[in-house]
A = this chain, B = another copy of it.
Amino acid sequence: MKNEYVSLDTVKYFLNEVHQVQEVLGKGRFQMYDMESVNMFLDSIKAFSDVDLFPYQREMDEKPAYYKDQAIHIHPQFQKIFQQSKELGLIPAIFNEEDGGMQMPNTLFHAAYFLMEAANNHVTGYLGLTTGAANLIATFGSQELKDTYLPKMLDLEWTGTMCLTEPQAGSSLSDITTSATPTENGSYLINGQKIFISAGDHQYTDNIVHLLLGRIDGAPAGTKGVSLFVVPKKKITDNGLEDNHVITAGEFEKLGQRGYCTSHLVFENSEAWLVGEPNKGLSYMFQMMNEARIATGRMGAGIASAAYYSSLAYAKERPQGRKLSSTGAKDLDQEQTLIINHPDVKRMLLHQKAIVEGSVSLIIQASKYLDQELISEREDRAYYNALLELLTPVVKTYPAEKGKEAVDTGLQVLGGYGFCMDFDLQLYHRDIRIISIYEGTTGIQSLDLMGRKVGFHNGKVLEWLGAEIMKEIKSASGHEKLQPYAAQLGQNLQLIQEVLGALMPHAKSGNFEKYLADATLFMDLFGTIVIGWQWLKIANQATLDLNKGKVDQSFLEGKIHTMEYFYKYEMSRTKGLAKTIMNDIELTLDFDLSYLD
């Protein structure tokens, strides 16, 4: 069944109207960009996605990446995809001109990737990791490292990876043991194993550049002894590329995202070069991880978008049952109705739309703070950076957790067919399940939000976010239809303060376990309110445009309708959540573990 996977109109509307991307276009590092170039780039990405990505996602699942002869083999379409990505300038996009980059606004960059990920989420990781690895070299590497690696990586002749996880350490990076032994020529020899390495090996570029966390011999224990290295799969020598003993030991067979390889790599005296200073690897890596968190949330939103349009197409074509008559009985003289006419199916579709578009708006919001940071003076930079930092765990988590729910809802629209491999929903259902795990699980993101971010700048950043939200509430109060929603958002904003006020004493008295015990619920609460803010922002703009008599009335009314859905069905969960978090009964701290048997 041919169907859409994304609404380009919505992405453009959010970028250009709701989030007023022109406020950053033409300024500072973005001086080469205007609205026309933004829209043209998105059009070319959509065309690329239509032709080279969307038609191959099923095949990439059915013919997944596989391990053979100590190498991983990925779908042949990647050859074309890498070629086209190079022509579209996808890797140089966000880099500085001096490094060969295009200085693209992050809003545009993320919007473009969202389109690609809706079309095929098995692909973009190869590109995103190359960008991320190159970005670490560009930001923290020596001129020599930059000269050696950046041109090849920006040209997609070589791809990149991030090698963090080790079997014994999982998310706990303080426990990694991969060793780095200094050599006489200033390089290091790496020994150790890394698992779950996305894009870790494939046959379509001459080299793969691993950015790896390891410990220099004798380094302190824990995070303070972790350094960052460049470890190429093949060393660059005067005689060309030479094997560097990076052994591909296997491929993890996964529930979903099967076109995207996930490798087990073994480093045996692999030569490596230090990036930046020794023992500062983790702080460097966090720059990359923050980008990766946004990218992960964006990928979740992309998958949920594809699932939404797939279920919408089905609902518009599938006749089944009849509308209820005034007696509550079915009128058999009527033809069967399309299932899209059943209220519960409409609810399931609106539910998906509210989650998908709310997530997309948040991703653009966060990216715009980054763009604003990049073109601002010192004090404003700190302001925008802090807002971005605060929102990052939410950008990662909301589309992951609620996107999963949206895809599940989309599958349900298809009934029995949703469970069949012939339809795409089962694929999205499998694919999206990783998003809550990648780049720090939901539990870890929630600890970050509640344990670090809300207290950032002595709690000032939360006030700043509150002020940003209040701006939207104030605008909405000027539109009669939006007033009740503005009021509801205002109450919810107070709820966050109330919850933190109730729990903060635990943190202050040193009982961090108790303070953080329900961090995951706090994330749900906070994320829902943040998305409520985004929906009010969208509705504000749509109302303005409707009042101006803009042409696409049903498009604009649809945005307001979906906002109302979100407030009725989702924002209504917040009070219960807050009550649970503030409920003082301790149930998840210390208890006899045999209670669980």
The residues of A with any CB-CB pair to B shorter than 8 Å are 7, 165, 168-172, 174-175, 195-196, 221-222, 252-256, 312, 316, 318-328, 330, 332, 336, 340, 342-347, 349-350, 353, 404, 408, 411-412, 415-416, 418-422, 426, 429-430, 433-434, 436-437, 441-443, 446-447, 451, 507, 510-513, 516-521, 554-555, 557-558, 561-562, 564-565, 568-569, 572-577, 579-580, 583, 585, 587-589, 591-597
Partner of A343, one of B256, B573, B588: B588
Q: How far is the CA of A572 from the CA of B172 in the complex (A)?
A: 33
Residues on the B chain within 8 Å of A433, using CB: 408, 411, 419, 429
Q: Nearest chain B CB to A482's CB is how many angstroms away? A: 13
A332 touches B222 (CB 8 A): yes
A-B contact pairs, 26 of them (CB 8 A): A172-B320, A172-B322, A175-B336, A195-B416, A254-B420, A254-B421, A312-B597, A324-B512, A324-B513, A328-B451, A328-B510, A344-B443, A349-B596, A350-B587, A350-B596, A404-B408, A416-B437, A419-B434, A521-B569, A558-B596, A558-B597, A562-B595, A565-B588, A568-B587, A572-B583, A573-B576
Q: How far is the CA of A318 from the CA of B172 in the complex (A)?
A: 12
Q: A418-B437, A451-B328, A596-B349 are in contact. Are A572 and B579 (CB under 8 A)?
A: yes
Q: Nearest chain B CB to A583's CB is how many angstroms away? A: 5
Quickly give the copy total for this chain.
2
Partner of A554, one of B343, B585, B592: B592
Q: How far is the CA of A569 from the CA of B586 in the complex (A)?
A: 12
Q: Nearest chain B CB to A311's CB is how many angstroms away? A: 10
Residues on the B chain within 8 Å of A434, using CB: 419
Q: How far is the CA of A591 from the CA of B349 in the complex (A)?
A: 13
Q: A347-B588, A419-B434, A561-B591 are in contact. Are A572 and B576 (CB under 8 A)?
A: yes
Please classify the interface of chain A as helix (H, G, I), strand (E, B), loop, or mixed, using the class held by over half of its residues. helix
A416 touches B512 (CB 8 A): no
Kindly list 16 other residue pairs between chains A and B, CB separation below 8 angstroms, not including A170-B320, A256-B419, A343-B516.
A174-B330, A195-B416, A254-B419, A255-B421, A255-B426, A324-B512, A344-B446, A344-B447, A347-B520, A347-B587, A418-B437, A430-B430, A554-B592, A568-B583, A575-B576, A576-B576
Residue of B nearest to A579 (CB): B572
Residues on the B chain within 8 Å of A320, using CB: 169-172
Residue of B nearest to A341 (CB): B593
Residues on the B chain within 8 Å of A256, using CB: 419
Q: How far is the CA of A561 from the CA of B433 in the complex (A)?
A: 30
A415 touches B441 (CB 8 A): yes
Q: How far is the CA of A404 from the CA of B336 in the complex (A)?
A: 31
Q: How far is the CA of A568 from the CA of B583 in the complex (A)?
A: 7
Residues on the B chain within 8 Å of A349, using CB: 596
A327 touches B415 (CB 8 A): no
Residues on the B chain within 8 Å of A422, using CB: 252-253
Q: Nearest chain B CB to A331's CB is how many angstroms away? A: 10
Q: Top 10 A-B pairs ranked by shortest CB distance?
A: A558-B595, A326-B510, A222-B332, A576-B576, A253-B421, A255-B426, A328-B512, A344-B443, A347-B588, A343-B517
Residues on the B chain within 8 Å of A408, using CB: 404, 433
Q: Nearest chain B CB to A31's CB is how many angstroms away? A: 36
Residue of B nearest to A425 (CB): B255
Max chain B C-beta neighbours (<10 A), residue from A196, A343, A516, A577: A343
Residues on the B chain within 8 Å of A558, using CB: 592, 594-597
Max chain B C-beta neighbours (<10 A), residue from A418, A433, A507, A589: A433
Q: Nearest chain B CB to A587's CB is how many angstroms away? A: 5
Residue of B nearest to A330 (CB): B174
Residues on the B chain within 8 Å of A446, using CB: 344
Q: How far is the CA of A256 from the CA of B421 in the complex (A)?
A: 10
